[in-house]
A and B are shown apart, each in its own frame.
Chain A
Amino acid sequence: MVEYRFRTPIPEEDARKVRVGDVVYISGTIVTARDAAHRRVLEVLERGEKLPIDLRGLAVYHCGPVIKKVGEEWKVFGGGPTTSTRMEIFEAEFIEKTGVRAVIGKGGMGDRTAEAMKRFGAFYATFPGGASVLAIKAVRRVKDVFWLDLGTPEAMWVLEVENFGPLLVAIDSCGENIHKKVSSRAEERLKEILSKI
Chain B
Amino acid sequence: MPSAELLEEGLFELVKRTSTRLPDDVLTALKRAYEIEESDLARSQLEALIKDAELALKEGLPICQDTGTPTFFVELGEDFPIRNLRPIFEKVIRRATQEIPLRPNAVNPFTGENSGDNVGRSVPIIHYDIVPGDGLLVRFMPKGGGSANTSRLHMISPGLGIRGVKEAVLKTVFEAGAKPCPPIVVGVGIGGAEDFAMVLAKKALFRRIDDKNPDEKLAKLEEELLTALNSLGIGPMGVGGKVTVLGVKIEWAHRHPASLPVGVCTMCWACRRGMAEFKSDGSYQILMP
Contact B233 A154 (CB under 8 A): no
Contact A21 B49 (CB under 8 A): no
Task: Give residues in B with beta carbon < 8 Å to A.
Answer: 41, 44-45, 48-49, 51-52, 55-56, 59, 61-67, 98, 101-105, 107, 112-114, 116, 144-146, 149, 163, 166-167, 170-171, 174, 177-179, 181, 228, 231-240, 268-270
Please name the 4 residue pairs, one residue from A and one from B, whose CB atoms are nearest each other, closest first: A151-B114, A78-B65, A129-B181, A128-B48
Contact B52 A128 (CB under 8 A): yes
A107 to B105, CA, bound (A): 20
A173-197 contacts to B, CB under 8 A, are: 178-179, 181-183, 185-187, 189-190, 193-194, 197
8 contacts between A and B (CB under 8 A): A66-B62, A66-B65, A130-B64, A132-B64, A168-B239, A178-B239, A182-B234, A189-B232
Dominant SS among interface residues on chain A: mixed
Residues of B within 8 Å of A194, CB to CB, are: 167, 170
- Per-residue CB proximity of A9-50 to B under 8 Å, as 1/0? 000000000000100000000000000100000000000000
Residues of B within 8 Å of A179, CB to CB, are: 177-178, 238-239
Instruction: Knowing A85-B179, A168-B239, A193-B228, say if A131 contacts B103 (CB, 8 Å).
Output: no
Q: What total of chain A residues lie within 8 Å of the partner, measured CB to CB?
A: 50
- Which of A65, A67, A106, A166 meets B178, CB within 8 Å? A106
Residues of B within 8 Å of A113, CB to CB, are: none
Instruction: Knowing A128-B49, A151-B107, A197-B167, say if A186 contacts B232 (CB, 8 Å).
Output: yes
Residues of A within 8 Å of B107, CB to CB, are: 151
Contact B232 A132 (CB under 8 A): no
Contact B103 A108 (CB under 8 A): no
Other A-B pairs beyond A128-B236, A130-B268, 19, CB < 8 Å: A36-B112, A64-B65, A66-B61, A77-B101, A78-B61, A106-B178, A130-B49, A131-B48, A132-B61, A133-B56, A133-B59, A151-B107, A151-B116, A166-B44, A168-B239, A170-B239, A189-B231, A193-B170, A197-B166
User: Chain A: which residue is nearest B55 at the CB level?
Assistant: A133
Residues of B within 8 Å of A129, CB to CB, are: 146, 181, 237, 268
User: Chain B: which residue is nearest A128 at the CB level?
Assistant: B48
User: Chain B: which residue is nearest A63 at the CB level?
Assistant: B65
User: Chain A: which residue is nearest B149 at the CB level?
Assistant: A83
A67 to B64, CA, bound (A): 13
User: Chain A: which residue is nearest B114 at the CB level?
Assistant: A151
Tell me how far the C-beta of A187 lies from the nearest C-beta in chain B, rounded to whole angstroms.
Answer: 7
CB of A152 within 8 Å of the partner chain: yes
Residues of A within 8 Å of B228, CB to CB, are: 193, 197
- Per-residue CB proximity of A151-171 to B under 8 Å, as 1/0? 111100000000000101010
CB of A134 within 8 Å of the partner chain: yes
Residues of A within 8 Å of B61, CB to CB, are: 66, 77-78, 132-133
User: Chain A: which residue is nearest B64 at the CB level?
Assistant: A130
Contact A130 B63 (CB under 8 A): yes
User: Chain B: which residue is nearest A108 at the CB level?
Assistant: B178
Contact A190 B171 (CB under 8 A): yes
User: Chain A: which residue is nearest B40 at the CB level?
Assistant: A1
Contact A133 B52 (CB under 8 A): yes
Residues of B within 8 Å of A121, CB to CB, are: none
Contact B167 A66 (CB under 8 A): no
Contact A132 B63 (CB under 8 A): yes
Tell me how far the C-beta of B270 lies from the nearest C-beta in chain A, rounded to whole angstroms.
Answer: 5
A187 to B175, CA, bound (A): 9
Residues of A within 8 Å of B170, CB to CB, are: 190, 193-194, 197
Contact B55 A153 (CB under 8 A): no
Residues of A within 8 Å of B145, CB to CB, are: 82-83
A186 to B179, CA, bound (A): 14
Contact B101 A68 (CB under 8 A): yes
Tell me how far the C-beta of B88 lies from the nearest C-beta in chain A, rounded to whole angstroms.
Answer: 24
